[in-house]
Each structure stands twice: as structure tokens, then as C-alpha cells.
Amino acid sequence: MKCTNKRNLKAQGSPVFSRLKKILSRTAVICLLASLPAGALTGCGKEELPFAYNPDYEVSSYRVVNEVSSVVADSFADDLCVVIGDVGTENGAVDMSEATAAGLFDLNKNNVMYAKNVHERLQPASLTKIMTALVALKYGNPDDMITVTDEASITESGAVLCGLKPGDQLTLNQALHALLIHSANDAAAAIAVHIGGSIEGFAEMMNKEALAIGATNSHFVNPHGLTADNHYVTAYDLYLIFNEALKQDLINEIIHMTSYETVYMDKDGNSKSMSLKTTNQYLNGNFKAPEQVTIIGGKTGTTNAAGNCLILLSKDTSGNPYISVILRSKEKQILYTEMTELLNVIN
């Protein structure tokens, strides 16, 4: 197609321009033509810019694709569970009265089996670390050698640590095990500085990745989930984040482990041992899942602001996968009791 500027396109009475005018203002047309991918509509090379994709918006890429070119575009959420409001069970068997938000998602059927306040912004506690692991593996390599910096010296009361000190050296693989099995906050900080150059730099990467996978109702300011202003997620966004993280084989492997032992080096080159146990009460045997459900793994999280939180990957007797999440349950015992009720919805 011959490259034609926008002014000539109108002057020539282009049928494309005429049809665009019916759904967009002239200003919107100009913005659209400037932001489409190279070769789109005009054939001119242009840099691609973000453009809303929503069938309900008066101006969006969905309407341009469908109304201008008469081509049905693939939905961004074509292979995802989508939910707007609450979804209950037929017999009302799930008692989620002690939790603020919860969801159960069938990954094979892309079906929301239960939803309560899944779009409410809440503190995620250590469920944050799922995004930390996802970003770390996207931009790093498991064999990367991390040198621990002062940012890993976390002094907050009650914060879970694995004992890292400034100058210690360990691989990203080792740090990810400490992060996801033991929920070590010092490991989270060490990973963040290694990958992002700083806590703030890594948080920016987390937010960029969240937007890329559709988790647009979340915002991160740190890699560990210790309480901070403007650090929040939703139960639905956590489903999106966990679903994306499960595409990483190493994350699938780690979340299933009940314990981990390794050796790393201190600043003087001396060996230091690390022995960790899972914080997941299903995996360590303190709580029992329903008979028809196998817990593959997940992530726990607890702070005063976030309450007790849990996200899980489970499978039914046929091997079909499910993601379940509960945010801000009042007590750990209640959290696991409610999660067991939620998992009972799986047939």
C-alpha cells in the first residue's frame, strides 16, 4: 500500500477515513492513525502506542478493528477467567464471612466458580512475592549470582527472614527458594536490588509487568509485601499474576516443595548453610484438603494490615487445575477452614 499522510487521506475521500469518521472524532482519528502499528490502515511506519481494548468504549481498538475492517479480534481475556461481581455457589455452602475477598478459578474451563469482592484493593502481604518471582525470572537467570546489599537488612518486627547479610553471595535460584518456600523478606530485597538496581527500580518493573498481564488494579512499592502505603492488589489480579507465574517451570517446582536445604557463601568466602520449611499448612500436614483435591502449592502471607492471606494451585481427581485465593481472613485457623470449604466446590 502506498504511504499516504493523514491530510491526503482525507482529501482523497478514502473509504477507510469515511468509515472512521462515523465512530470517531477527527482528533481521535489523527491520534489513532499515529498510534497504530506499522503498516496499519495507511501503510506508513509508525510506533505502536497503547490503545484501549474494550467493546464498551466509544473509542477503542476493539471498535476500530471490528467496525472498520470487519475483522473479529481475539479478546485479550480469551483464555482467562473474567468476573465483574460476586459469584456464589448453588447451595450457598461456602462460608466466607470472616474473609474480605476470595475467588476460585477453573483454569481449564476459564470459569469463575466463586467470587467475593475480587476487585477490592487490599494489602497482599507476602502474596506480593509471586510477582517478585515472576519478574525475577523474566529479567534474570536462575544461575545469576546475587551479592546481598544493605537493603536486605530488614528490621521490621515479625518479618520472616532467612538470615542473609550484606556481602553474602547466593544464586537467584537459591534466593527464589527462600522467597517462595520460607517467604523470606531479606531474599525478596536481595532479588529486587539484583534485578532492578534498587527496591524502587524493581517496584517499577513489577508495576509494568502487572499492567502487561492485565492486573491493572494493583500497585507495588516493594518486593516482599511488608505494609506500605499505595501497595495493594485485588483477589482477581492475584489470580492473573499467579496464572502467569505458573508458566515458569521453576516456580511450579518450588511452590510444591515442603523443605529446602542449600549452602551459599558469606562475604569472606566461607560456607553458610540454609535450611527452610514451607509456610503452607496444607503441604506441611497441619491442614487437610478435601479428598477430591490435591494441593500442588501456593503462597502464604500475613501482616497486621493484610490479615491472613493464601493463594493455591490445586488439581481435581482428573488432573484439572484450579487457582483459589483468600485475602484478609481474621485468623490462620479460619483462613484454612474457609479455604477448605472453597476447595470443596471443586467436584
Say what percent of the chain tops pLDDT 70: 78
Asked whether residue 163 carries a pLDDT value surpassing 90, the answer given is yes
Average pLDDT of every residue of the chain: 85
- Which pLDDT score is estimated for 57? 53
- Rounded Cα gap, residues 240 and 244, in angstroms: 6
Question: Per residue in 45-85, pLDDT tens?
Answer: 444 445 454 445 555 444 444 444 444 445 667 889 999 99
Query: Residue 232 falls within a domain, yes or no?
Result: yes
> Which tens digits make up the pLDDT trace of 195-231?
999 999 999 999 999 999 999 999 999 999 999 999 9
Residue 103 lies in a domain: yes
124's grid cell: 497482599
How many CB atoms neighbour CB 305 within 10 A?
Answer: 14
* Catalytic residue selected from 61, 116, 126, 329: 126
Asked if pLDDT for residue 105 goes beyond 60, the answer is yes
User: What is the predicted pLDDT for the residue at 347?
Assistant: 85
Residue 183 known to be catalytic: yes
Catalytic residue selected from 61, 183, 314, 329: 183
Residue 336: C-alpha distances to residues 48, 120, 254 (Å) = 46, 21, 21
**How many CA atoms, within 13 angstroms, populate the side-chain half-sphere of residue 239?**
31
Do residue 146 and residue 242 come from a single domain? yes
Structural domain contains residue 239: yes
Confidence at 157, pLDDT banded by 50, 70, 90: confident
d(CA 185, CA 163): 10
74 in a structural domain: no
Angstrom distance (rounded) from CA 118 to CA 308? 16
Cα gap 24→125, rounded to integer Å = 44
Amino acid identity of residue 88, one-letter, is G
Residues 143 and 13 in one domain: no
Count: domains in the chain: 2
Q: Same structural domain for residues 91 and 61? A: no
Predicted confidence at residue 56, as pLDDT, reads 53
- 29 plus 104 within the same structural domain: no
Predicted local distance difference test score (pLDDT) of residue 49: 46
Interval 246-281: pLDDT, tens: 999 999 999 999 999 999 999 999 999 999 999 999
Which sign does the torsion angle of CA 56, 58, 59, 64 carry?
positive
- Asked whether 127 and 225 are in contact (CB, 8 A), the reply is yes
Position 15 pLDDT exceeds 60? no
Q: Provide the grid cell at 98.
A: 470472616
Residue 226 sits in the same domain as residue 334 = yes
Q: Are 251 and 296 members of one domain?
A: yes
Q: Is the dihedral of CA 50, 54, 60, 61 positive or negative?
A: positive
**Residues 36 and 87 occupy one common structural domain:** no
8-17, 157-166, 206-215, 257-266: lowest mean pLDDT where? 8-17
pTM given for the model: 0.79
Q: Say whether both 25 and 55 belong to one domain.
A: yes
Are 22 and 154 within one domain? Answer: no
Say whether both 58 and 95 belong to one domain: no
Domain extent, residue 59, equals 6-68
Residues 19-36 have pLDDT tens digits of 434 434 433 433 343 344
Residue 345 inside a domain? The answer is: yes
Catalytic residue among 61, 116, 129, 314: 129
Q: Which of 156, 154, 177, 176 is nearest to 164 (CA)?
A: 154
C-alpha separations of 238 from 89, 287, 325 in Å: 21, 23, 8
Question: Is 238's pLDDT higher than 70?
Answer: yes
pLDDT in tens, 333-347: 999 999 999 999 998
Let me know: does 126 contact 301? Beta carbons within 8 Å: yes
- Strands 307-315, 294-303: pairing is antiparallel
Catalytic site includes residue 129:
yes
Does position 40 have pLDDT exceeding 80, yes or no? no
Q: Is 299 annotated as a binding-site member? A: yes
CATH number for the domain that contains residue 162 = 3.40.710.10
* 126 included as an active-site residue: yes
The reported pLDDT for the residue numbered 78 is 80
Rounded CA separation 199/213 (Å): 21
Same structural domain, 13 and 58? yes
Regarding whether 300 and 179 lie in a shared domain, the answer is yes
